[in-house]
Structure 1
Amino acid sequence: MPHEKPLLRFGVIADPQYADLPPWLEMNRYYANSLDKLRQAIGVLNGEDLSFVVTLGDLIDRGWESYDPVLAVYQGLRHESFLMPGNHDFFVAPTQLGDVHKRLGMPAAWHDFARGGFRFVVIDGNEISLFSTPEGHPRHTLAQQRLKTLLAEGAINAKEWNGGISDEQFAWLEAVLARASAADEKVVVMGHYPLYPENEHNLWSAERLTDLFARSGNVIAYLNGHNHVGNLGRAGNTWYVNFKGMVDTEAENTFAVIEVFGDRIEIIGYGREESRTLAL
């Protein structure tokens, strides 16, 4: 149907990971080039009719001083912008760790909002990690314990550069999904870390969330970055879309526009990002 209008359109950016550093050639990461790629992406997205643009973490590679240039580029975005941190956004001085969410203009580390009849949920997979809190902090100690357990279990994602969520955040997420279900709202959850398919980049205890989504039945998609090569999976009613990392490659960009219809999600990929039709 050529004239069918989507219920909602929004933009997606993942892992610009900017820093004024030389490239890491082995990993094909060009940190300094991300500012130009971001400008280009924002130029394209500004020409689109969108409800908002979400950036799925890792705005910077490291260093508090990296925030100024990258956030200055976002000033040129005409749409509402939702930012969230990834693991690299906490590679700053220990005294600055508590200010990261505020620097990104977030109302809270995890939060939800409604747009176009859909419920959007931002989760914080950095909450229980070795990088979001200084040594000696209760959450840091909990992260050490969790990682130790995962390593003992031989978990593929038992990595220092991954993280997890607390029981408190899990209970909040469960309540948000239940409220959305009662209101007959379909849900899109967004975070930095992948949940599915199994991958070394996945959130610690990812299956706890995928089980929750399967039980809830109303989560149509989970969107993330972190694994720069990208990925796609489906479990239950939920599509799991891992967007490619902008920092990778010298000049090729990657970002997307998402259109939500009653029966499908259309991903319009730019640069290295693939275009896809995901049936609901």
Structure 2
Amino acid sequence: MLSRRTALGSALAATLATRFAGFAAAQDGAFRFGIVADPQYAPVPPNLASGRYYANSLWKMQEAVAELNRHDLKFVATLGDIIDRHWESFGHVLPVYDGLKHPKVFVLGNHDYEVGREFLRSVVRTVGMPNAYYDFAGGGYRFVVIDGNDVSTFAPPVGDPRRELAAERLARLKASGAPNAQSWNGSLSDEQFAWLQRTLDAARTARENVVVLGHYPVFPADKHNMWDSQRIVDLLTSYDNFVAYLCGHNHAGNYGEIGGRHFINFRGMVDTPTTTAYSIVEMHPDRLRIEGFGREESRSYAIRARA
């Protein structure tokens, strides 16, 4: 007999299993998509010390869905930490996402695995992702979703060799005094890193620009960055068609630029009792424009022409 939790996961997976089919840009090359970072919903009291109001993200997400539905968007991406903890939290917040009229794109964060060991293998399926890392095309772009939880101390199932590898990587970083040597960060497996390079190669061959979506920052240096952030930055910036890296995890937000390539850290929705945070990103041939809502600021960045 199915338990209540198992039934919940199966039902939600069926509800969110529609795959993203791609899209075309407008005649002027423009298109728009939505971004949400770190709703981190859970039906628990707030953490006043950190200013995180977990339960309030339910109504914040409801308001965001209503506003995003007013716009012509190609998709809405959530950059990880859909929930803060507890398997049942998915059952509260994912139905809110069902109200979106746009395709849903998910990235997973560290808190999405705070669900109990018996459910670790079910998280990807539950949110309807095709895989923990994947890519899709639209509007002349290749969108690449990476999984920074791949080699971590919390996401791989117990007994998976990636846990041992994660412990080794974290120990080496701590020994070096790296500020991002934190147990709540993670890294890519070598297998995923090779996949990322192949995907970038394919995008370059297809004359597609690239936007990478991740949970963890990789630049500029910060305690929230992925353990292997430097090799990721080196790889991405070696491609002339790489445009931007979009992430969450650092709820305060951040920004960095390397040779006209943009590393944009969006602010967390969960923070503050009454103010939300989400965005609409508008892509043009020569610029990337962000329309911020709530705590998220509006700004614009030039897109570097390919060589």
Q: Same fold (TM over 0.5)?
A: yes
| Secondary structure of residue in 1 paired with 2:33 | strand
Q: Which residue of 2 aligns with 1:154?
A: 177
1:10 aligned to 2:30? no
| Secondary structure of residue in 2 paired with 1:211 | helix
What is the TM-score normalised by the length of structure 2? 0.89
CA contact (8 A) 2:121 2:157 kept: no
Match of 2:210 among 174, 177, 187: 187
| Secondary structure of residue in 1 paired with 2:142 | strand
CA contact (8 A) 2:281 2:288 kept: yes
Shift of 1:29: 0.3
Distance in 2 separating the partners of 1:203 and 1:6: 33
What is the TM-score normalised by the length of structure 1? 0.97
CA contact (8 A) 1:217 1:237 kept: no
Shift of 1:195: 0.6
Cα deviations by residue, 1:68-96 (Å, 9 ceiling, x for unpaired):
01001001000000012100000011110
1:96 aligned to 2:119? yes
Number of residue-to-residue matches in the alignment: 277
CA contact (8 A) 2:260 2:302 kept: no
Q: Which residue of 1 aligns with 2:56?
A: 33
Q: Which residue of 2 aligns with 1:254?
A: 277
Distance in 1 separating the partners of 2:40 and 2:109: 9
Which stretches of structure 1, 4 residues or longer, exceed 4 Å deviation after superposition?
A: none
CA contact (8 A) 1:214 1:237 kept: no
Distance in 1 separating the partners of 2:260 and 2:162: 32
Distance in 1 separating the partners of 2:238 and 2:297: 29
Shift of 1:245: 0.3
Shift of 1:136: 3.0
Match of 1:21 among 44, 62, 74: 44
1:164 aligned to 2:187? yes
Shift of 1:6: 5.5
Cα deviations by residue, 1:7-27 (Å, 9 ceiling, x for unpaired):
210000000000000000010
RMSD: 1.0
1:175 aligned to 2:181? no
1:80 aligned to 2:96? no
| Secondary structure of residue in 2 paired with 1:32 | coil
Q: Which residue of 1 aligns with 2:74?
A: 51
Distance in 2 separating the partners of 1:267 and 1:201: 22
Match of 2:259 among 236, 245, 260: 236
Of all paired residues, the percent bearing the same amino acid is: 52
1:216 aligned to 2:239? yes
> Gapped runs of 5+ residues in structure 2?
1-26
| Secondary structure of residue in 2 paired with 1:220 | strand
Distance in 2 separating the partners of 1:198 and 1:272: 23
Shift of 1:135: 3.9
Shift of 1:5: 5.1
Match of 2:168 among 137, 145, 149: 145
Distance in 1 separating the partners of 2:28 and 2:209: 18
| Secondary structure of residue in 2 paired with 1:234 | strand
CA contact (8 A) 1:11 1:257 kept: yes
CA contact (8 A) 1:218 1:237 kept: no
Cα deviations by residue, 1:113-163 (Å, 9 ceiling, x for unpaired):
001111100000000001102443201111000000111111110000000
Q: Which residue of 1 aligns with 2:299?
A: 276
